[in-house]
Chains A and B, each alone.
Chain A
Amino acid sequence: MKIFRQLAIILSINFAGELLSKGLSLPLPGSIVGMLILLVLLLTGVVKEVHIAETANFFLEKMPFFFIPAGVSVMVAYQFIDGHLAAVIGTIVLSTLFVIVVSALVSQVIIKKKNND
């Protein structure tokens, strides 16, 4: 019973997000509008953590399972990578290192500066 009630709440929020995104032609995907709606509902106390906990935790813990079909679509996309594999991997590796360096340095500098003030 509880699982279905929780799933119904999550799906309704997802559906509302999709409708809002399409209806208002928002530049954000419907699932992300749904995530923001749930965040607001949690912060305002309209939805409490217990209302969605078990079902949400299942989705959060087993999340990678739901990415498999999207991942398999790489088989119809591979022709676009063919010949560019080194460039694709090079871009991913260098960009990742750059993100680590920038985000770590910026946040640490600000924290230390604040502590010295």
Chain B
Amino acid sequence: MIEALSNNHLFGILLTVGLFYGGMALRNHFRKNWINPLLISVFVIVLLLKLAQIPYEQYMQGAGIIHDFLGPVTVVLALPLYRQRRLLVKYKLAIISGIVSGVLASLVSVLLLGRVFGLNNMLERSLLPHSITTPIGIAVSNDISGMEGITVVSIILTGLIGASVAGVFFRLLRITHPVARGLALGTSAHAIGTSKAIELGETEGAVSSLSIGVAAITTVVLVAVMQMAGWY
């Protein structure tokens, strides 16, 4: 009976579209930014598939078509980068140094903490791109044989954590410059951090949106170097 419903291309597509719409409706109704339609959709779909004992492959018959659009979604990330190019030129030294050191901090800390906490190699690879924007994080994770599901969930968690605690650290460390604030939010917490940065101010938002792209490209390049050096 369930098989007749789930073993159909439209099942995965309808489930994904319907739940994302529901998540967006919830967020708009309660007007709360921390209500994350992506996280809600993923949670409810996993729960439904588990309860009804529907295999992931059956869901992906249809949902795979949505997954295939990650390519064009990644390509258009060039646009916000292009829109903020003047800001990048104006603060090039501070922005490039801040982002490269932030990305290094992310990669090195995952590897070190992984050793300390005894994470296995597969988990370490999946968590490595946790600070960057999801479509590029997925590409990096697949490239180094991580598990994209773990990567996506870790990226959302990172965004929610970064956006909620950054303000505390800005006060503690006396980070007052709008460029430094925006840069830290975009580098650590990608798009979720950027929505927080936009609340802080126009410059913060613009720098944060620029940092998403630069941090992602820097991560891709550094991971490629790590691969060529034979570490991965």
Chain B residues numbered 70-106 whose CB sits less than 8 Å from any CB in chain A:
70-83, 85, 91, 93-95, 97-99, 101-106
Interface string of B208-229 (1 = CB under 8 A from A): 0000000011001100100110
The number of chain B residues touching the other chain, given as a range, is 35 or more
Q: In the complex where A72-B63, A110-B98 touch, is A90 in contact with B170 (Cβ < 8 A)?
A: no
CB pair A110 B38 closer than 8 Å: no
A89 to chain B, nearest CB (A): 7
Query: Is B28 at the interface (CB under 8 A from chain A)?
Result: no
B161 interface residue (CB < 8 Å to A):
yes
A93 to B189, CA, bound (A): 11
Residues of B within 8 A of A17 (CB): 71, 75
The binding surface of chain A is classed by DSSP as helix
Q: Is the CB of A42 within 8 A of B158?
A: no
A111-B94 contact given A31-B70, A32-B136, A100-B162, CB 8 Å threshold: yes
Q: Is B6 on the interface with A (CB-CB < 8 A)? A: no
Asked if A35 and B169 sit within 8 Å, CB to CB, the answer is no
A29 to B219, CA, bound (A): 12
Distance of A32 Cα from B77 Cα, bound (Å): 9
Chain A residues contacting B143 (CB-CB under 8 Å) are 29
Pairwise interchain contact A95-B110, C-beta atoms closer than 8 A: yes
A111 to B77, CA, bound (A): 27
> Are B113 and A59 in contact, CB atoms less than 8 angstroms apart?
no
Residue A4 CB within 8 A of the other chain: no
Q: How far is the CA of A70 from the CA of B126 in the complex (A)?
A: 13
A98 near B123 (CB under 8 angstroms)?
A: no
Determine if A1 is an interface residue (Cβ-Cβ < 8 Å).
Answer: no
Q: Report the minimal beta-carbon distance from B155 to chain A, rounded to whole angstroms.
A: 8
Tell me if A69 and B162 are in contact (CB < 8 A). no
A110 engages B42 (CB within 8 Å): no
Q: Known contacts A81-B150, A104-B170; decide if A34 and B79 are in contact (CB<8 Å).
A: no
A68 and B66 within 8 A (CB): yes
Contact at B161–A96, with CB atoms within 8 Å?
A: yes
Q: Are B76 and A107 in contact (CB-based, < 8 A)?
A: no
